[in-house]
C-alpha cells in the first residue's frame, strides 16, 4: 500500500486552501470537547485551525513526509498554541496512544485508505478503544456516484489556477483505474512543473476503497458504534446520494462480549 510520502510535496498546493469542512469539525470539537483524536492528520490542514481555536489535537498519520510538512505548518501557530498539537507516525489500523478522547475525527475521506474489510474493522476497533464511553466519531467520505464508478478508467487534468497558489507553475494529470470487484480506485498523479525551463515530472500513487452508505453503517454497528446522523454535507444537509458527500456522526457504545 503506497503512503502519501510522494504526494506530500504537492499536498498543500492542491488542498491547502480546502476549507469547506473546517466549521463542521470545529463545531464538533466545541460540542464534544478536547483532546480531539485526528486520524490521517496529514499536513495539519484541519488540526491547525482547531488548535488555533484552543483545542488540543492528537494527530496520527502513517506518512513521515506529510508529518514533516505538518511540523513546518505548525510554525504558523503562536508559540503558546503549538503544544496544542501532538503528532505521531502510526497506522490507523493499529495505533496506540496513552490518552483517551471524547471525539475522534477523520477528515477528507482518509478512512477510504483502508483497502479490505479487515483493515476497515481494525481501524474502527482501534478508534473505539481510544474513545471515552459514549465518545463521538465524525468523518466524511465521498459518495461513489454511479456516473463515476460505472467507468473502468478515466483521466483528469488539474490546472494551476485551481491550486492554493495559482502561479505555482504546476499541472497535475490524474489517471484513475477502477477494480470493480474490490471497490478499489487506483489513483496515479503526475505532477508537471517547469523549473529553469526544464519540465520536471513527479509521480504519486494512492488507492481508495470506496464504501456505500449502508456498508459504512454496517461496519460502524459491527465495531460497536451507534450511527447518530448521516448528512449529505457539512451544514447538516439531508443525505440524498447526489450530494457527492457523506458525513457520518456515530457514538461509541460499550462492546458486550456476551452478545
Ligand X SMILES: C[S@@+](CC[C@H](N)C(=O)[O-])C[C@H]1O[C@@H](n2cnc3c(N)ncnc32)[C@H](O)[C@@H]1O
Q: How far is the CB of 70 from ligand X (least distance, A)?
A: 9
What residue ranges bind ligand X (CB under 6 A)?
3-4, 15, 40-42, 45-46, 60-63, 66, 91-93, 107-110, 113
Q: Cβ closer to ligand X: 19 or 226?
A: 19
Smallest Cα–Cα separation from 250: which of 32, 56, 20, 33? 32
Q: Cβ closer to ligand X: 20 or 226?
A: 20
Distance between CA atoms of residues 200 and 166, nearest Å: 18
Q: Cβ closer to ligand X: 80 or 182?
A: 182
Cell 507553475 locates to: 169
For residue 75, count other CB atoms closer than 10 A to its CB: 9
Q: Are 5 and 32 in contact (CB under 8 A)?
A: no
Q: Cβ closer to ligand X: 150 or 216?
A: 216
Q: Are 172 and 157 in contact (CB under 8 A)?
A: yes
Q: How far is the CB of 94 from ligand X (least distance, A)?
A: 9
Cell 465518545 locates to: 135
DSSP-assigned letters across all residues of 96-161:
--S--EEEEEE-TTGGGG--SHHHHHHHHHHHHHHEEEEEEEEEEEE---HHHHT-SEEEEEE-GG
Cell 460499550 locates to: 254
Q: Cβ closer to ligand X: 62 or 84?
A: 62
Q: How far is the CB of 108 from ligand X (least distance, A)?
A: 3
Q: How far is the CB of 187 from ligand X (least distance, A)?
A: 11
Residue 144 neighbours by CB under 8 Å, 6+ apart: 183, 210, 211, 212
Q: Cβ closer to ligand X: 88 or 240?
A: 88
Q: How far is the CB of 230 from ligand X (least distance, A)?
A: 19
Q: Are 164 and 16 in contact (CB under 8 A)?
A: yes
Is the bond leading into 35 cis (omega within 30 degrees of zero)? yes
Distance between CA atoms of residues 205 and 188, nearest Å: 5
Q: Cβ closer to ligand X: 41 or 219?
A: 41
Q: How far is the CB of 61 from ligand X (least distance, A)?
A: 4
Q: How far is the CB of 198 from ligand X (least distance, A)?
A: 29
Amino acid at each position: 500500500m503506497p503512503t502519501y510520502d510522494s504526494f506530500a510535496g504537492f499536498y498543500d498546493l492542491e488542498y491547502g486552501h480546502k476549507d469547506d469542512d473546517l466549521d463542521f469539525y470545529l463545531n464538533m470539537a466545541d460540542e464534544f470537547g478536547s483532546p480531539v483524536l485526528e486520524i490521517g492528520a496529514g499536513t495539519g490542514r484541519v488540526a491547525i485551525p482547531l488548535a488555533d481555536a484552543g483545542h488540543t489535537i492528537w494527530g496520527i498519520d502513517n506518512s513521515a513526509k506529510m508529518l514533516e510538512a505538518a511540523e513546518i505548518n505548525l510554525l504558523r501557530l503562536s508559540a503558546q498554541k503549538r503544544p496544542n498539537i501532538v503528532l505521531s507516525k502510526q497506522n490507523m489500523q493499529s495505533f496506540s496512544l496513552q490518552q483517551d478522547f471524547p471525539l475522534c475525527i477523520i477528515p477528507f475521506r482518509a478512512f477510504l485508505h483502508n483497502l479490505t474489510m479487515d483493515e476497515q474493522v481494525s481501524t474502527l476497533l482501534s478508534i473505539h478503544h481510544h474513545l471515552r464511553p459514549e465518545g463521538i466519531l465524525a468523518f466524511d467520505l465521498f459518495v461513489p456516484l454511479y456516473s463515476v464508478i460505472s467507468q473502468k478508467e478515466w483521466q483528469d487534468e488539474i490546472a494551476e489556477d485551481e491550486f492554493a497558489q495559482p502561479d505555482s507553475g504546476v499541472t497535475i494529470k490524474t489517471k484513475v483505474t477502477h477494480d470493480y470487484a474490490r471497490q478499489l480506485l487506483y489513483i496515479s498523479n503526475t505532477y508537471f512543473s517547469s523549473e529553469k525551463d526544464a519540465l520536471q515530472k513527479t509521480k504519486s500513487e494512492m488507492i481508495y476503497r470506496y464504501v456505500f452508505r449502508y456498508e459504512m453503517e454496517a461496519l460502524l454497528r459491527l465495531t460497536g458504534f451507534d450511527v447518530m446522523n448521516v448528512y449529505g454535507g457539512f451544514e447538516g444537509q439531508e443525505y440524498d446520494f447526489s450530494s457527492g458527500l457523506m458525513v457520518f456522526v456515530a457514538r461509541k457504545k460499550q462492546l458486550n462480549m456476551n452478545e
